[in-house]
Chain A
């Protein structure tokens, strides 16, 4: 449905996007993840036609965002970063304005407005001036604006920024619900957000796509969730554990682990394959006369992968 090919964007001498390609299928909820300044917002601005790429192309249903801009924007609902609004309009006036520019007829505007207000929970502030609203309500007003024409595609730039934890949960649930019958692309620098709402992650770093897949597939591709943390107390005269552990079949490396306040000797054992080495490590400890203080399988979680991929 959305095809992004080799997108490059230069802001003067600064390269914000360095050749990003991906595609999004109908009905997917895709999360753009990356640190601040990675290029997420730039990418969204290009897809929505607010800015043009230096090179590369974006098509939506086969229509180019530059050539057929108006047609593409008709299908997209967009919540820009920081949810820009007209502070001196009421929520109702604002939504009616956006609906009017989108060509929704007068009779339909009232109906759509009520539907959307109910869905994002702003019915009680419809007649309040937007300038007097809290950040949470302003963000929801921005979301309502993006949904007013019941678009096939929703593009949401940091939809939960500035919200309190309860509101974040609500908005995530709403996005998940919206994702059932339409395509959603959202951006965030918050990992739990993506895992909670999206079925696919696009990890972007310094203008490049560094990972693309489901949370599970990214995790499998980048890292071995097959590490074991071992902490042993080595009695006097016993043989040093690192050497012995390294000789176990299936062990790739043994490195000292960084665990402040450890009582014994903490080590991280990395396995070559996918096997569970815990029984073997336990047996070795018994045989060698170490007191085993801790033994656990370390799942290299997305957080760590995220950090690894974006620290360079």
Chain B
């Protein structure tokens, strides 16, 4: 367990020791700010956030999930692809650690980034709390849901990064998978069908919305945990099967 944490710490500091993390966080916060103050009001009854007088953060969380489908694959793409390209994978995997410990450490390191990026958005609930009297349930649920979706994206990104030595390939594959699983619930509607239970069952967004309402249903949490554990386990398996090639 201690070596998992050592790997996680190295991964975390590799992000914050280089410009990558700061740029990704800046992009995330700027785009989120723009949508929050200028785009979101259009969705609300009045056309300005301050005029709308509605103490809700629901649209904010929806935008965070959307931005995460792009930002988090950019963070996870290097996790294993870079090691493979630089040859350091050989160093890492000939240390007395298992493949599972390596991918778990990497995942936790990336989770640290997610925690910091999400934590920096706490300014919004503070703002809303100062201006109005929001219901805390949906805010707590919203954050819980956002973290679960983010962790699932990172796990999928880690898996994509295990498949290839090319970071850009890992990035695009991760976006593709994350976006597909996130928005699949809208597919039946888009092609003119009625809502389909199967599409909702697979959709990250549907499960996220359910959690973000503030009522935490075990089924939604189990769904995300399954995705996370499954993707991390597959990444570990992919590293292991490389040995026999």
Q: Which A residues are closer than 8 A to B by beta carbons?
A: 11-12, 45, 48-52, 54, 69-71, 73-74, 76, 78, 80, 82, 84-89, 97-98, 100-103, 145
Known: A48-B94, A49-B94, A85-B88. A97 touches B6 (CB 8 A): yes
CB within 8 A of A103: which of B14, B17, B96, B242?
A: B96
Given pairs A45-B90, A97-B10, 18 additional interface contacts (CB within 8 A): A49-B94, A51-B242, A70-B96, A73-B94, A78-B94, A84-B87, A84-B90, A86-B88, A88-B17, A88-B18, A98-B95, A100-B3, A101-B3, A101-B6, A101-B7, A101-B97, A102-B95, A103-B3
A84–B243 CB distance below 8 A = no
Contacts of A54 in B (CB 8 A): 244
Docked-complex contact B97 and A70, CB < 8 angstroms:
yes
When distances are taken between beta carbons in the complex, the residues of chain B under 8 Å from A51 are: 242-245
Q: Are B96 and A80 in contact (CB under 8 A)?
A: no
Partner of B91, one of A11, A70, A74, A145: A145
Determine whether the beta carbon of A84 is less than 8 Å from that of B86: yes
Asked if B98 is at the interface of the complex by the 8 Å CB criterion, the answer is: yes
Contact pick for B2, options A12, A74, A88, A103, CB 8 Å: A103
Nearest Cβ in chain A — how far from B16, in angstroms? 12
B133 CB, min distance to chain A CBs, angstroms: 47
- Does A84 contact B88, Cβ atoms closer than 8 Å? yes
From A45, A54, A100, residue with most partner B Cβ within 10 Å: A100
**Does A74 lie within 8 Å of B96, measured CB to CB?**
yes
Give the contacts of B1-43 with A (CB-CB under 8 A).
Answer: 2-3, 6-7, 10, 14, 17-18
Which chain B residue lies CB-closest to A72? B96
- Chain B, interface SS category: helix
Contacts of A82 in B (CB 8 A): 87
- Quick check: A102 and B90 within 8 Å, CB to CB? no
A8 to B94, CA, bound (A): 20
Task: Determine whether the beta carbon of B87 is less than 8 Å from that of A73.
Answer: no
Q: Which 9 A-B pairs have the closest CB atoms?
A: A84-B87, A100-B6, A74-B96, A52-B243, A73-B96, A48-B94, A84-B88, A80-B90, A101-B3
List, in ascending order, chain A residues with CB within 8 A of B244's CB: 51-52, 54
Contact of B93 with A50 in the complex, beta carbons under 8 Å: yes
Give A89 to B242 CA distance when docked, in angstroms. 27
> Which residues of B lie under 8 Å from residue A87 when comparing CB positions?
86
Q: For the complex formed, measure the closest distance between the CB of A235 and the CB atoms of chain B, giving whole angstroms.
A: 66
